[in-house]
Structure 1
């Protein structure tokens, strides 16, 4: 799964990297501890143009009567995304890219303590998570919301968790965004192990209130 991530690249650099037009209001950065329900950067198509916008991380189906009207949907499983009522329309017509500098996952020691690990890209400055998005509005409250697509973990990540986010290379972005026709479903696989590296970080990141660049520094035994 993906339950926490970081983003350190400035918005203007992301706009250039994704060749996207940036919105006026984007989340402040850098952010070393992005949590569910936070606003995140996302790239999607608007009238054929890539736009870098802000979305709420936590997909809200249109039938939710309140923001807490059902389970918090931060991830969408690749294997069932096309069939789940909450996701099936979005996966066909509303796909996006969610930039990340890296993401966190946890293991446990023999005492049950949560041990955080940080995973980051070995190729390129950023990860692009495959995402889906949905507009939601009730009683004058409106959100553009998103979820990260996950798949079965590859060999490297499986030591930490049985799921991992789908990450896409630049040459795959046009197909996922819908610029290059049909066939995006074949992209929903685990990234090659060589494209990801990981290391332990300090347990302070276990708190969703923790901040600062030291959250992604390697833990010195």
Structure 2
């Protein structure tokens, strides 16, 4: 799964990488501790062009009476995203890319203390999460979720799920620009796409901030 991530790149550079036009409502960056319900940048494709705009991280099904009317849907499982009523229409026609510098996941020590790890791309400036989105309510507030899948080799020692990350050559297919077949992309990252290191437990708080959140934890340092 993915419950926290970081995005440090300026929006103009992110827009350039994704060949998208940036909107004026994008949230502030850098943000080293992006949390559920935050506004996050997302790339969509419509009418032959890509747009980088803000969405609420937390998919809101159309039947919710308010954004808090049911479970907070920050992830959508690859195994059921095409059939689950909350997600199936979005999976078919409203897919997006969610840029990230990296993301966090946790293990636990013998005492149950949560130990955070930071995952980041190898040989690339950004990760692109596979996402789905939906406009909710009369104002069509854009909301989104990150697609997750069973963990691959890099993630499995830390967690049994991971966010689906897409290589640049797969972005057009996921965005619906290259026809059908996007379901084949909902797999774990190939070995070598991501690296990981332990970071301070400061990031366990959703109020923590600062670039030091992703600094590697030294072996002789205390959490």
Give the TM-score of the pair, scaled to structure 1: 0.97
Give the gaps of 5 or more residues in structure 2: none
Q: 2-side partners of 1:128 and 1:70: how far apart? A: 27
Among 174, 182, 195, the residue aligned to 1:197: 195
Q: 2-side partners of 1:69 and 1:193: how far apart? A: 39
The alpha carbon displacement at 1:214 in A equals: 0.5
The alpha carbon displacement at 1:142 in A equals: 4.8
Match of 1:184 in 2: 182
User: SS where residue 123 of structure 2 aligns?
Assistant: coil
Match of 1:103 in 2: 103
- Summarize deviations over 1:80-122 as a string: whole Å, max 9, x none: 1111000000000000000000000000000100000000000
Q: 2-side partners of 1:3 and 1:68: how far apart? A: 17
Among 208, 211, 214, the residue aligned to 1:213: 211
Match of 1:167 in 2: 165
Give the TM-score of the pair, scaled to structure 2: 0.97
The alpha carbon displacement at 1:123 in A equals: 2.3
Give the gaps of 5 or more residues in structure 1: none
Query: What is the total number of aligned residue pairs between the two structures?
Result: 219
Root mean square deviation, CA, Å: 0.8
User: SS where residue 32 of structure 1 aligns?
Assistant: strand
Match of 2:154 in 1: 156
1:1-221 correspondence runs (5 A): 1-137=1-137, 142-221=140-219
